[in-house]
Amino acid sequence: MANDHGSEPLVPEPTDSAPLEPANPAIEDTEAPVEVDSAPPPPEPAPESPQPENSETEAPEPEPADASGEAAPVETELPTEGVGSILLRADRQEFEPIRQIVTATGDVLVQFGTGQLAADRLWANLVNRHLRAEGNVFFNRNNQIIEGATATYNLLQGAGTITESRGELELTTLEDDFSTDAAGLGQGANVPLDYRLQNQRSISQVTSPGGLVLATGDPQGLLGGEQRPIERVRFEAERISFDADGWYGEQVRLTNDPFSPPDLEFRANTVRLTPLNEVEDELVFENPRLVFNQGLSIPLFRNRFVLTRGQLPAEALNPLPTGIGIDGRDRGGLFVEAPVPINIAGPLNITIAPQFLVSRWLGDSNYNIADPANFGLAAEVEGPIGPRTQVLGSLSLAGFDLANFSEQFRASLRARQLLGTHRLTLEYSYRDRLFNGSLGFQDVQNTIGALLESPVVALGNSGINLTYQVSGQYVTANTDRADLLAPGQGIGLTSLFRFQGSADLTRSFLLWQGRPLPATPTEGLRYSPRPLVPNLVLGVGLRTGATYYTSNDLQESLETRVVLSGQLGHLQRQTFDYTQFNIGFSRTILGGDTSPFLFDRTVDQNVLSGGIIQQIYGPFLAGFQASINVDSGRTVDSNLIFEYRRRAYGLLLTYSPTQETGFLGFRISGFDWVGRTAPFDAPRGTPSDAVVQ
The three-state (H, E, C) secondary structure of 20-85, written as one string? CCCCCCCCCCCCCCEEECCCCCCCCCCCCCCCCCCCCCCCCCCCCCCCCCCCCCEEEEEECCCCCE
Strand partners, 464: 507
Position 365 scores a pLDDT of 87
Position 170 scores a pLDDT of 77
284-301 pLDDT, tens digit per residue, is 999 999 999 999 999 988
- Note whether 275 and 333 are same-domain residues: no
- Note whether 341 and 239 are same-domain residues: no
pTM: 0.79
Q: Region 110-129: what's the mean pLDDT?
A: 86
Q: Region 600-623: what's the mean pLDDT?
A: 96
In a domain, 597, yes or no: no
Q: Region 409-421: what's the mean pLDDT?
A: 97
Residue 418 has pLDDT above 70, yes or no: yes
CA distances from 412 to 26, 209, 403, 475, 506 (A): 81, 31, 22, 14, 31
509-521 pLDDT, tens digit per residue, is 999 999 999 999 9
For residue 52, what pLDDT band results from cuts at 50, 70 and 90?
A: very low
Distance of CA 570 to the CA centre of its chain: 25
Instruction: Please give the sequence-ordered ranges of beta strands (E in DSSP) within 71-201, or none if there are none.
Output: 74-79, 85-90, 92-96, 101-112, 115-125, 130-141, 144-154, 159-170
For residue 5, what pLDDT band results from cuts at 50, 70 and 90?
A: very low
The domain total for the chain is 2
Residue 659: partners with Cβ closer than 8 Å, 6 or more residues away: 328, 329, 435, 440, 441, 637
- Note whether 265 and 340 are same-domain residues: no
98-110 pLDDT, tens digit per residue, is 989 999 999 899 8
Measured CA to CA, the distance from residue 518 to residue 533 in angstroms comes to 11
In a domain, 66, yes or no: yes
Residue 387 has pLDDT above 50, yes or no: yes
> Comparing C-alpha atoms, which of 104, 124, 4 is closest to residue 55?
124
Measured CA to CA, the distance from residue 102 to residue 84 in angstroms comes to 16
Instruction: Say if residues 607 and 585 touch (Cβ distance below 8 Å).
Output: yes
Lowest mean pLDDT among 227-231, 282-286, 482-486, 620-624: 227-231
Average predicted confidence (pLDDT) for the chain: 82
Q: Region 47-55: what's the mean pLDDT?
A: 41
Position 656 scores a pLDDT of 94
Strand partners, 606: 587
In a domain, 612, yes or no: no
- Note whether 256 and 382 are same-domain residues: no
Q: What is the CATH number of the domain that holds 182?
A: 2.60.450.10
Position 18 scores a pLDDT of 35
More confident residue, 322 or 214: 322
Residue 216 has pLDDT above 70, yes or no: no
- Note whether 250 and 117 are same-domain residues: yes
Residue 582 parent element (H or E): strand 578-591
Please say which residue of 393, 417, 441 terminates a domain.
417
In a domain, 23, yes or no: no
Residue 117 has pLDDT above 80, yes or no: yes
- Note whether 267 and 388 are same-domain residues: no
In a domain, 272, yes or no: yes
Position 421 scores a pLDDT of 96
Residue 380 has pLDDT above 70, yes or no: yes
- Note whether 166 and 105 are same-domain residues: yes
Measured CA to CA, the distance from residue 185 to residue 556 in angstroms comes to 69
- Note whether 376 and 238 are same-domain residues: no
CA distances from 155 to 67, 185, 639 (A): 34, 8, 61
Residue 211 has pLDDT above 80, yes or no: no
Measured CA to CA, the distance from residue 363 to residue 521 in angstroms comes to 47
What phi, psi does 158 have (nearest 5°)?
65, 35
Q: Region 205-227: what's the mean pLDDT?
A: 60
Any idea how long the chain is?
A: 693
Position 644 scores a pLDDT of 96
- Note whether 177 and 87 are same-domain residues: yes
More confident residue, 201 or 206: 206
> Comparing C-alpha atoms, which of 15, 157, 171 is closest to residue 98?
15
Residue 182 has pLDDT above 50, yes or no: no
More confident residue, 167 or 35: 167
Q: Which domain holds residue 389?
A: 329-417
Measured CA to CA, the distance from residue 531 to residue 516 in angstroms comes to 6
Among 106-115, 162-171, 270-279, 437-446, top mean pLDDT goes to 437-446
55-107 pLDDT, tens digit per residue, is 444 444 444 444 444 456 666 666 555 555 678 889 999 999 998 999 999 98
Residue 184 has pLDDT above 50, yes or no: no
Position 212 scores a pLDDT of 64
Position 49 scores a pLDDT of 40
Residue 221 parent element (H or E): helix 220-223
Position 195 scores a pLDDT of 44
Instruction: Say if residues 318 and 341 touch (Cβ distance below 8 Å).
Output: no
CA distances from 576 to 23, 531, 570, 572 (A): 68, 16, 10, 10
Instruction: Say if residues 447 and 429 touch (Cβ distance below 8 Å).
Output: yes
- Note whether 51 and 160 are same-domain residues: yes
In a domain, 166, yes or no: yes
Instruction: Say if residues 177 and 242 touch (Cβ distance below 8 Å).
Output: no
How many Cβ atoms are within 10 Å of 551's Cβ, its own excluded? 17
Share of the chain above pLDDT 90, in %: 56
- Note whether 234 and 359 are same-domain residues: no
Measured CA to CA, the distance from residue 323 to residue 605 in angstroms comes to 37
Long-range contacts, stretch 222-227, CB < 8 angstroms, 24+ apart = 222/650, 222/652, 222/665, 222/666, 222/667, 223/667, 224/529, 224/530, 225/529, 225/530
Burial class (CB in 10 A: 0-12, 13-18, 19+), 690: buried
Position 411 scores a pLDDT of 98
Q: Region 532-558: what's the mean pLDDT?
A: 96
For residue 218, what pLDDT band results from cuts at 50, 70 and 90?
A: low
- Note whether 246 and 140 are same-domain residues: yes
Residue 203: partners with Cβ closer than 8 Å, 6 or more residues away: 258, 259, 673, 674, 675, 676, 677, 678, 688, 689, 690
Measured CA to CA, the distance from residue 329 to residue 441 in angstroms comes to 9
In a domain, 257, yes or no: yes
In a domain, 239, yes or no: yes
Position 464 scores a pLDDT of 98
Please say which residue of 241, 266, 292 terminates a domain.
292
Measured CA to CA, the distance from residue 251 to residue 215 in angstroms comes to 30
Please say which residue of 385, 417, 449 terminates a domain.
417
CA distances from 559 to 589, 606, 693 (A): 6, 9, 39
